[in-house]
Amino acid sequence: MALNLPPLPLPVPNRRDLIALPLVIALFFIIAHAGREMAVPFHLGDDLSISLSPLALPEYGLYTVLRMLAALVVSFVFTLGYAWLAAHNRYAERILIPALDVLQSVPILGYLSITVTGFMALFPGSLVGVQLAVIFAVFTSQAWNMTFSLYQSLKTVPRDLHEAATLYRLNAWQRFWKVELPFAMPGLLWNTMMSMSGGWFFVVASEAITVSDQTVTVPGIGSYIAAAIAHKDLAAIGWAIAAMIVIILAYDTLLFRPIVAWADKFKFEMTASSETPRSVVLDFLRRTRLLKLLAVVPARLWELSVQLTPKVPVRRASGNARQHRRLADAVFYAALSVLALWAVVRLLQLLPRDFGWPMVWHVLGLGLITGLKVFVLVALSALVWVPIGVWIGLRPRWAEKVQPLAQFLAAFPANLLFPLFVVVIVHWHLNVDVFTAPLMILGSMWYILFSVVGAAAAIPTDMREAAQNLGLRGWLLWKRLYLPGIFPGFVTGAITASGGAWNASIVAEVVSWGDKTLVATGLGAYISQTTAKGQTAQIALGVGVMSLLVILTNRLVWHRLYDLAQRRVRLD
């Protein structure tokens, strides 16, 4: 099976090539260099000294960026495999999807100590283990969301596209790359961007953590901040914040904008939309001559894969497929119920032995306190941001500017700002329980703002005109038009905000400035403190309770509100 492809004629490079080529080559060198640096020897207890000089920041920033990139790649690969399997095998689906639902609710920073120890054991005497643990933490903050999005898209590929693919005898490989993945692309990309903005928080939080009374750090923006906190260096914190702003903007310009602009062709719509996303970087790359040749690589790989994957065989009659299926179903469910029963029994045996019921009740109580805080915080953010969001959303010119700003604020890791709050709390001797609480929502309340702005901007003009024409004003106007109009957007934003607040509680309920540490009452503080002491069983209990509470609130509150929004107040 020879590939009869014509040889490539090498074009003359143009001016853009002269700029782009050196940049691309430099990029490879930087990545290679950083890769070497990230694998330096390391033993638990070693103190990697972090320089607080602003001049060290570009290098630290680079490491943080590369970790994010690595996590993104891993998440993407994981997503493709997991979602494909769940969408194409009904048994896998019954296990993988509920599992995903649970995984989504587990606080990411909760099990960091366990993964750090695990990865360090895998790579003894090297920093690689810690690096991988950080990447893994970011991965877990992104992958579940992305996988859900892909799975849902795969399940909703239009029937006629499926039929065309079957009739023209595309094999599973071709079907996935030509039909399913492109169809899922817009949703997957959007989710990747959202997950990515959550990821910055976790990369910063996990670059310097305390495990079994030992502080484990890897060089990066997060460890820079940790060092600055330990040294009470306000100027360094300022520098770190500035560096983070630059990094996030660069990520957006150099990575996501080009991808979004490129992926516009995957939108499943047959009308040419008036507004297409543009990217200066993508346009630039598209106009290069020599560099554009790189596009041939995927094309040839694709050609090769087409020749290598087998043709679809002509299906022959299979005797009693239905009976086979029924039998397989029975075996599958029987095995599953036995397993579930065993798990429950074991849990009931283990729980009292390890902790005793009073301990379990105590942790549950802490969970409820944190839960109450999350609820109040989401409600307060709604009170503040809904009116502002609606006001902005109704003014297109404002919305255009505020929307990206809110997205940026959501991406900005709020934990960089914690020290500023702590300084104030320490200085004025404020109540720790009350005044550390806002830190939990600081990073995620922006999701409410930009969802509401988006929803308000989408309220059809004719409805607004009709309301005006009828003389609706004041509260009546809000009650009848604006609030119902933004409700679906608000719910989406609030779900993200509340999830983010739960996760953030682990770092927000225990904060420090120099030698001064503030501890609030709550489940986050409990998990954080047991992590520092290395009490694995207690960490598991704390994480378990938090996951349970998150799942319960999702089921009992958010999903219902979401369904309500979908059914009742859609504006289409």
Partner 1 sequence: MAATVEHAPTAATVQGVDIFRTEHLRKAFKTPDGAELLVLDDVNMHLGEGEILVLLGRSGSGKSTLLRMLAGLVSSSGGVALHRGQPITGPVPGLAMVFQSFALLPWLTVLQNVELGLEALKVPAAERRARAIAAIDLIGLDGFESAYPRELSGGMRQRVGFARALVINPDVLLMDEPFSALDVLTAETMRTDLLDLWTERKIPTRGILLVSHNIEEAVLMADRIIILGSNPGRIVNEMRINLPHPRNRESQDFRDLVEDIYGVMTARPVGRDASRKQVPGIGLRLPSLSVNALAGLLEELDALEKSNANTRISLPDLAEDMHFSVDDLFPLIEGVELLGFAQVEDGDIMLLPAGRIFVDGSLQERKQLFARHLTERVPLVARIRAVLDERFNHRAPDSRFLTELEDHLSEEEARRVLDTAIDWGRYAEVYAYDDNAEVFSLDNPEAEE
Residue closer to partner 1, measured from CB, 174 or 214: 174
Residue closer to partner 1, measured from CB, 313 or 358: 313
Would you count residue 12 as binding partner 1 (CB under 8 A)? Answer: no
Q: Which of 15, 169, 231, 560 binds partner 1 (CB under 8 A)?
A: 169
Min dist. Cβ of residue 316 to partner 1 (A):
6
Q: Which of 15, 33, 265, 324 binds partner 1 (CB under 8 A)?
A: 265
Distance CA 396, CA 231 (A): 45
Would you count residue 171 as binding partner 1 (CB under 8 A)? Answer: yes
Would you count residue 326 as binding partner 1 (CB under 8 A)? Answer: no
Q: What angle, 0 to 180 degrees and rounded to 10, lies between the N-to-C axes of helices 221-230 and 181-206?
A: 20
Cβ neighbors of 348 (< 8 A, separation 6 or more) are: none
Binding letters toward partner 1, positions 269-308, x by CB under 8 A: xxxx------------------------------x--xx-
Q: Which of 133, 170, 221, 459 binds partner 1 (CB under 8 A)?
A: 170
The continuous run of DSSP H or E covering 304 comes out as: helix 296-308
For residues 78 and 143, the answer to whether their CB atoms sit within 8 Å is yes
For residues 524 and 506, the answer to whether their CB atoms sit within 8 Å is yes
For residues 414 and 439, the answer to whether their CB atoms sit within 8 Å is yes
**Stretch of 2-10, 221-229, 386-394, 486-494 lying at the interface with partner 1 (CB under 8 A):** 2-10
For residues 88 and 162, the answer to whether their CB atoms sit within 8 Å is no
Q: Which of 314, 353, 427, 475 binds partner 1 (CB under 8 A)?
A: 314
Distance CA 305, CA 142 (A): 29
Q: Which of 15, 479, 555, 568 binds partner 1 (CB under 8 A)?
A: 568
Q: Which of 168, 333, 342, 361 binds partner 1 (CB under 8 A)?
A: 168
Q: Which two tokens stand for residue 1?
A: 């099976």
Q: Which of 25, 73, 102, 164 binds partner 1 (CB under 8 A)?
A: 164
Q: Which contacts of 262-266 are long-range, i.e. CB under 8 A and separated by 24 or more positions?
A: 263/185, 263/186, 263/189, 266/182, 266/183, 266/185, 266/186
**Strand 208-211 relative to strand 214-217, pairing:** antiparallel
Min dist. Cβ of residue 317 to partner 1 (A):
5
Residue closer to partner 1, measured from CB, 83 or 184: 184
**Strand 510-513 relative to strand 214-217, pairing:** unpaired
**Stretch of 91-99, 163-171, 277-285, 461-469 lying at the interface with partner 1 (CB under 8 A):** 163-171
**Stretch of 4-12, 34-42, 77-85, 105-113 lying at the interface with partner 1 (CB under 8 A):** 4-12
Distance CA 368, CA 362 (A): 10
Phi and psi torsions of 44, nearest 5°: -60, 130
Amino acid at 560: R
**Stretch of 24-32, 60-68, 309-317, 468-476 lying at the interface with partner 1 (CB under 8 A):** 309-317
> Among residue numbers 407 through 446, which ones bind partner 1 (CB under 8 A)?
none
Min dist. Cβ of residue 149 to partner 1 (A):
17
Distance CA 238, CA 269 (A): 46
Interacting residues with partner 1 (CB under 8 A): 3-6, 158, 160-161, 163-164, 166-171, 174, 178-179, 182, 185, 265-272, 303, 306-307, 311-312, 314-318, 568
